[in-house]
Amino acid sequence: EIVMTQSPATLSVSPGERATLSCRASQSVSTNLAWYQQKPGQAPRPLIYGASTRATGIPARFSGSGSGTEFTLTISSLQSEDFAVYYCQQYNHWPSVYTFGQGTKLEIK
Amino acid sequence: QVQLQESGPGLVKPSETLSLTCAVSGYSISSTYYWAWIRQPPGKGLEWIGSIYHNGNTYYNPSLKSRVTISLDTSKNQFSLKLSSVTAADTAVYYCASYTGGWMAYWGQGTLVTVSS
């Protein structure tokens, strides 16, 4: 089983600043990595797939990078609506198995 | 645009079977999409339960495989989840989702299922 580890668990950043979230896979997943944003009481919203491709309608301030086992989600200039929990998900062996990271909570500093 | 809506009992007794349905609109479940169930215990992260392809092929999380059945109902354009022998650890918000490329492009709003006597 591929284990996804996100860091930090909580990140405190001021509006307008840059946020950098990390996701590490226990073995290579190539670029089969997605990021989701989840706000309280809502379903996850896809942000990034293929490690770096923004999903439809996602603002350019969200960017993803990485390959293999190390991945990063960067939000270039935080807006109030960006404070949420972010999850990474690997799908390297889809359709047979998918695993999510435990999440990073992005909070207002 | 695919739209998904979960429905089913919000309370299930321990040892019984949890049954949920996901109604799909805007797309035929007989076409080339995968249809999935994902759950999230209160205050915790996301767990993939299983998926079904439009041709009926199923894929299950190994940790749940012995208790899970996912099926399609093409006449109603919906798919279903059955999880047997539930315990309190199965209390969660259950989401249905759909995708083509391994990442979950479309999600339902989720439904909370509590396991309690």
Other Cβ atoms closer than 10 A to A29: 24
Tell me which residue of B79, B76, B37, B81 sits closest to B54, measured CA to CA.
Answer: B79
Tell me which residue of B1, B6, B70 sits closest to B34, measured CA to CA.
Answer: B70
Residues 34-63 of A with CB under 8 A from B: 34, 36, 42-46, 49-50, 55
pLDDT tens digits for B40-81? 999 999 999 999 999 999 999 999 999 999 999 999 999 999
Distance between start and end Cα atoms, chain B: 39
Residue B41, chain A, CB below 8 Å: the answer is: no
For residue A86, which residues of chain B lie inside 8 Å, CB to CB?
none
CA separation, residue A91 to residues A22, A53, B1, B12 (Å): 17, 15, 23, 31
Tell whether the model's pLDDT for residue A28 goes beyond 90: yes
Tell whether the model's pLDDT for residue B31 goes beyond 90: no
Distance between start and end Cα atoms, chain A: 36
Asked if residues A84 and A38 have their Cβ atoms less than 8 Å apart, the reply is yes
The Cα–Cα gap between B113 and A62 comes to: 33
Q: Name the maximum alpha-carbon separation found in chain A.
A: 40
Contact B104 A44 (CB under 8 A): yes
CA separation, residue B20 to residues A87, B68, B109 (Å): 24, 12, 13
pLDDT tens digits for A51-92? 999 999 999 999 999 999 999 999 999 999 999 999 999 999
Residue A8 one-letter amino acid: P
Q: Count of CB contacts below 8 A, A vs B?
A: 59
